[in-house]
Structure 1
């Protein structure tokens, strides 16, 4: 399927690993030009070097949870060119009891998971509307719809991101600009995979058995009964950014393997 993404300029925040990296690779394979973003020069430069064989890759270091650094990122992106696609992927989470999550941690969740998307969208959406072309895709989570008691702060920030996406989409009415959110569920990233592998060893179980038991007892509503791959999530994001998805706007696209038991 031709997605018409050749030479489109794409910014992906938090793209030096995990889902963000997979999204970057998928866009490059479609001929897009990609701006890699992360918090450290070392990680950004390493990723630019790794992915440069796939196409045109730029790197901009910025902690998008900090307003001044977010502003610097915006200026550098505008120097590179007119942004066609904004992927707000940066996010943090920690498994922690609700009563142990203090105010500063709550604020960090919102600065990182929500306000980074607010700031970047506030800058790039008006330009997209003026050009009558563009895509904004916010990477939320199934935890934004299906709250977990050990991830309440994270879930609340992701619910807010879904609401932000729909609200911004309302501003695009009658244009060729769309804003959507994507809701990944349990996804097998490099870092998470290492954590689960170590956890399985600590419990004296082989990895396959540990994963099967996790989905059987902890995620029984999952229809795929496995972790999604980062490539599966990335393919949904790239499709939403394409001309083929121009009729999809204001949606919360699930990529959580059916964990959420709802027809809507």
Structure 2
């Protein structure tokens, strides 16, 4: 199936103002999708709107709203359904945060809480809030963008391996629980740091945000689905 099938699809991109997320948003707009992006930062949303101003036939809807609590996520859900006439066809969770570059056991309590909120709780709240909308319809796509650290642990960034393992388990579990619902879940695992328009490549072979966006688009339109095999690797 081609990207043409994304035309007029209502897609929520959580994390859509990040370096990877904004490229996914732009790709979806170029394909004619109706894209909704919440963010806690109006400045980040304006930067996204500027970047996507010439992106093509799609529509971009943005909302300044924190999604780190159930109430905040519910506010986004109500806004989305109001804007789109009750429609939601797909969700892309391109969520991440900062990592600290030090020994795992030396993380402070505040750093640990921040890590959990950005890498795990954010994914949980997004799934808890928006996956039921797809399940009620009995159709749709739910895509999580994850890192490859689940299979390769490095000193100084152990928390990324913890996050990647949890995110993969979350996707696999949700896929099995939704196996006969008509909703397709997938995880796109990135085995490289991603070069974006904000962060240039630092290695000879490195994924680009455009490559990630194109692969995400393929997964959102693929007709082949097996709930037992929902993890898809993307390597340089």
TM interval, short-chain normalised: 0.7 to 0.9
Q: Deviations over 1:124-171 (max 9, x none)?
A: 222212211111111110012212221111221121111110111012
Deviation of 1:75 after TM superposition, in Å, equals 2.0
The 3 A distance-change label for structure 1 pair 116 and 129 is: same
Instruction: Tell me the equivalent position of 2:139.
Output: 133
Instruction: Tell me the equivalent position of 2:88.
Output: 83
Instruction: Tell me the equivalent position of 1:68.
Output: 71
Q: 1:191 aligns with which of 164, 188, 198?
A: 198
- Between the aligned partners of 1:173 and 1:29, the Cα distance in structure 2 is 31
The 3 A distance-change label for structure 1 pair 150 and 228 is: same
- TM value normalised by structure 2: 0.88
Could you list the runs of 5+ residues in structure 1 that have no partner in the other structure? 197-210, 213-225, 258-264
The 3 A distance-change label for structure 1 pair 164 and 27 is: same
What is the Cα-based RMSD across aligned positions, in Å?
Answer: 2.0
Q: 1:160-171 residue pairs with structure 2 within 5 A?
A: 160-171=166-177
- Between the aligned partners of 2:46 and 2:71, the Cα distance in structure 1 is 21
Larger Rg: 1
Could you list the runs of 5+ residues in structure 2 that have no partner in the other structure? none
Which structure carries more helix by proportion? 1
Q: Deviations over 1:185-243 (max 9, x none)?
A: 2211233328x5xxxxxxxxxxxxxx34xxxxxxxxxxxxx11111111111111111x
Deviation of 1:248 after TM superposition, in Å, equals 4.6
- Between the aligned partners of 2:212 and 2:77, the Cα distance in structure 1 is 26
Give the SS at the match of 2:12.
strand
The 3 A distance-change label for structure 1 pair 66 and 107 is: same
For the 8 Å contact 2:68–2:125, the answer to whether it is kept is no
Q: 2:159 aligns with which of 153, 156, 168?
A: 153
Instruction: Tell me the equivalent position of 2:225.
Output: 247
Q: 1:3-22 residue pairs with structure 2 within 5 A?
A: 3=3, 4-22=5-23
Q: Deviations over 1:30-88 (max 9, x none)?
A: 11111123321122133224324322110122333344322322221222222111111
